[in-house]
Amino acid sequence: MNIEKRRKIFSLLKKKTPNPSTELKYNSPFELLIAVILSAQATDISVNKSTIHLFKIANTAEKISSLSIIKIESLIKNIGLFHTKAKNIHKTSEIIAQRYSGEIPNSREKLENLPGVGRKTANVILNTIFKEPVIAVDTHIFRLSNRIKLATAKTPLAVELKLTRLTPSEFLVDAHHLLILHGRYVCKARNPDCNRCVIKELCEYTSKHLKY
């Protein structure tokens, strides 16, 4: 796939969604960090249902670190792996409160040193909060990139590196959210909705599977 075809794909996605953003609900960088940690192997819907209660009680690093882990668990128990996630957000809150005065660091290394924060979570924060041109590859983006031949690779990291290198620079900041929304609602894992896909004329998967 050449650069012009990539540019056309992103142009169409951007036209459809001019202001792409996360569907996690948050009111501060810290709230987003906690929500993204909780979103691992969970849906944004389930996370939002939990954080609406959690953030009413504690929405800063100092406040969450002052809660007991048992209390945090009771507030996020509808989310998968809630025992581990409760410990992670408690410890991460302690570190942010004590080491960073409650502010989220804008360094990948510092972010990835926080409990529960891996490369994908760090990329979400760097991109969404600090507008860095990085792409967090989740299951939707991994599937979509391989399916439409935007960036084919066997691991999320390899897809990320390819996408970052091959995506036209003017779309890099929005690429993560453009792709994740398209993968979540149109180019779904089962029964991709090719008939209402805005990039179907450019998609190599569509050309093989869509029946007119």
Question: Has 44 been annotated as catalytic?
Answer: no
Q: Are 95 and 176 members of one domain?
A: no
pLDDT digits (tens, 9 = 90+) for 14-68: 999 999 999 999 999 999 999 999 999 899 999 999 999 999 999 999 999 999 9
Of 25, 44, 77, 138, the active-site residue reads 138
Q: Which of 5, 49, 120, 188 is catalytic?
A: 120
- Judge whether 138 counts as a catalytic residue: yes
Which residues fall within 8 angstroms of residue 134, CB to CB, at 6 or more apart? Answer: 123, 126, 127, 164, 172, 176
| The model's pTM | 0.90
CATH of the domain at 124: 1.10.340.30
Same domain, yes or no: 107 and 38: yes
CATH at 12: 1.10.1670.10
Query: Which structural domain, as residue segments, surrounds residue 182?
Result: 3-20+134-209
Average pLDDT over residues 89-94: 98
Of the candidates 85, 37, 29, 99, which has an alpha carbon nearest to the alpha carbon of residue 60? Answer: 29
At 159-207, the pLDDT tens digits run 999 999 999 999 999 999 999 999 999 999 888 999 899 999 988 776 5
Tally of domains within the chain: 2
